[in-house]
Amino acid sequence: IEEPEINLFPNAQKKMFDDVMLEHQRDFIIFHLDLSDEVAKTRLAHRKICSTCGTTYSNFLQPDLTHCSEDQTLLSVRVDDQSPQAVAERLALYHTETAPIIAEYAKAGKVVKLDASLPIDTITQNILSML
């Protein structure tokens, strides 16, 4: 029986981040924008990206926008955003590698969980009120 490969990179990243925060005597809070997988899938399928500057836009918020507001580049969609398999793999990666680290920080009182399905203005106001 073959053992599953365990990716230690997220733990190494966490340790490096923790070490830098300790070295510089910095405290931090993580704003966890929590979103169901179903809403994430829908949002990914409806986003547009500028290939020049990387700015991301939403068809929900700006359905008529065709060019980047920063540099006027024609917007495109990421091919992997249109692939259900690729999106499922990215979500699985989040659940296996990122979510456990968020849970560790939450146990330490370092996470503020926010409902990311709320309107952007509401989320922004919630974050600003906590800063």
Tens of pLDDT, residue by residue over 113-125, are 999 999 889 999 9
Question: What are 33-79's pLDDT values in tens digits?
Answer: 999 999 999 988 889 999 999 999 998 888 999 999 999 999 998 88
CA 100 to each of CA 14, 123, 126: distance values in angstroms, whole numbers, following the listed order: 11, 23, 24
Angle between helices 37-45 and 84-93 in degrees, nearest 10: 130
- Please state, as a whole number, how many other Cβ atoms lie within 10 Å of the Cβ of residue 8: 10
The pair of structure tokens assigned to 1 is: 């029986």
Could you tell me the pTM of the whole model?
0.74
| Cβ neighbours for 56, distance < 8 A, ≥ 6 positions apart | 47, 48, 49, 50
- Which structure tokens are listed for 50? 């500028």
